[in-house]
Amino acid sequence: MSPKKIKDFRKDTELYSYIGKKFVKLEEGEVLEEVFDKPTLMTLYRLMNKGVIEHLFGVVKSGKEAKIYRGITPNGEELAVKIYLTVSAEFRRGMLPYIEGDIRFSHVKRDTRSLIYAWAVKEFRNLKKAWEIGVRVPKPYAVENNVLVMEFIGKEGIPAPLLKDVEPSNPQKIYRKLLDYIKTLYRDGELVHGDLSEYNIMVLDDEPVIFDMSQAVLLSHPMADQLLKRDILNLNRFFKKLGVKTKPENEIYGWIVENESKF
C-alpha cells in the first residue's frame, strides 16, 4: 500500500471511529460505512464539529428519498436530522419538475448529487420562510450538502403521530388551521406546499405541524396553481372522511388567491 493510501486509510478509519462514537444507535445489522457514503459522513463530521449535533440515535422515519434520525444538541435539545439519499435515480426524476421551475435554483447542475444538495437547501429555505411567517413547521437549524437539521416534533424521543393515524378531538379546528396555513404560505410566503396531505402533517398537542417542505414551490413556478388546487382537494378529501363540513374547493381557492374576505 502506498504512503498516500495508508494516509487516506488512516483518515477514513479516524472518521468512522469519530462518527461511530457519536452514533448512539444504528438499526439492527447496519454498519456505519454501509449506511452513509463518505461525503455524507464528512458532512455529519463538520456539523458535529460546529456544535450543531452532539449525538445521533436511530431512524425515526425512513423512505426512498431520505432517512430521518433523532439527534441531540450539545445542550440536550432534541433534533431531527434528515439525510437525503444520494443514490436514488427515481428520486432525481421526481424532484426535477420542482427544481427546474424554481428561479432560486436555475443554475444548479443536473447531476444527481448537485440536485440532491439543492433539494436539501430548498427544503431549508422553505421551512425557514414558513417558520418566519407563522406557519407551524419544524424549525430549521442548519443545512449542509445532503443533511438538514431541524426541530424534532415529538416528546422524549417519540415522534408525534401523523394526521392519518390520529383521531383529533376537534377535526374542524385542525381543518381550519391548515387552511389558514395554506393561505399564509401563499399570501405572506409566496409559496405553495405542493404535496399537502394527511401523510405529511403531524399532530402535536392537538395542533397540526406541516413537514416535508422540499417540494414547496414559489408562486412563479409554472405548476404552482395546479399544486395549490391539489393541496386544497387533498385536505377536503381527508377531512370529509372525519365528518368535517368542508368548504367547496373553488371557494377556498378564491379566498386564498383572490384574498376574498367571505369564507
Among 8, 12, 37, 212, the active-site one is: 212
Task: Give CA separation, 4 vs 9, 11, 12, 57, 101, in Å.
Answer: 8, 11, 12, 34, 44
Confidence tier at 165 by pLDDT (50, 70, 90): very high
Q: Which residues contact 30 (CB under 8 A, 6 or more apart)?
A: none
Q: What is the pLDDT of residue 5?
A: 36
* One domain for residues 147 and 176: no
Choice between 30 and 125, residue whose per-residue pLDDT is larger: 125
Residue 23, domain member (yes or no): yes
Domain that holds residue 151: 3-155
Number of domain units in the chain: 2
Q: What is the DSSP letter of 167?
A: -
- Letter for the amino acid at 45? Y
**195 tagged catalytic:** yes
Q: What is the pLDDT of residue 10?
A: 46
Q: Cell digits for 251?
A: 371557494
* The domain boundary residue, chosen from 92, 122, 155: 155
Choice between 92 and 240, residue whose per-residue pLDDT is larger: 240
* Predicted confidence (pLDDT) at residue 91 exceeds the cutoff of 90: no
* One domain for residues 35 and 61: yes
Residue 146, domain member (yes or no): yes
Q: Cell digits for 110?
A: 443536473
Residue 263, domain member (yes or no): no
* One domain for residues 23 and 151: yes
Confidence tier at 41 by pLDDT (50, 70, 90): confident
* One domain for residues 24 and 116: yes
Among 37, 165, 188, 195, the active-site one is: 195
* One domain for residues 52 and 116: yes
SS3 218: strand
* One domain for residues 130 and 202: no
Tens-digit pLDDT profile for residues 50-80:
999 998 888 888 887 888 999 999 999 999 9
Confidence tier at 99 by pLDDT (50, 70, 90): confident
Dihedral over Cα of 102, 104, 107, 111: its sign: negative
Residue 110, domain member (yes or no): yes
Residue 262, domain member (yes or no): no
The fraction of the chain above a pLDDT of 70, given in percent, is 79
Q: Looking at residue 188, which CATH number applies to its domain?
A: 1.10.510.10
Given a contact cutoff of 8 angstroms between Cβ atoms, the answer to whether 86 and 116 are in contact is yes
* The domain boundary residue, chosen from 155, 189, 215: 155
pTM: 0.86
SS3 169: coil
Q: What is the pLDDT of residue 63?
A: 81
* One domain for residues 133 and 7: yes
Q: What is the pLDDT of residue 62?
A: 85
Tens-digit pLDDT profile for residues 231-263:
999 999 999 999 999 999 999 999 999 876 666
Residue 241, domain member (yes or no): yes
For 49, other C-beta atoms within 10 Å of its C-beta total 10
d(CA 138, CA 131): 8
Tens-digit pLDDT profile for residues 189-237:
999 999 999 999 999 999 999 999 999 999 999 999 999 999 999 999 9
Average pLDDT, stretch 110-131? 89
* One domain for residues 169 and 97: no
* The domain boundary residue, chosen from 120, 155, 190: 155
Choice between 30 and 166, residue whose per-residue pLDDT is larger: 166
* Predicted confidence (pLDDT) at residue 127 exceeds the cutoff of 50: yes
* One domain for residues 27 and 113: yes
Q: Cell digits for 188?
A: 405572506
* One domain for residues 128 and 51: yes
Q: What is the pLDDT of residue 64?
A: 78
* Predicted confidence (pLDDT) at residue 15 exceeds the cutoff of 80: no
d(CA 138, CA 211): 7
d(CA 46, CA 15): 11
Choice between 133 and 106, residue whose per-residue pLDDT is larger: 133
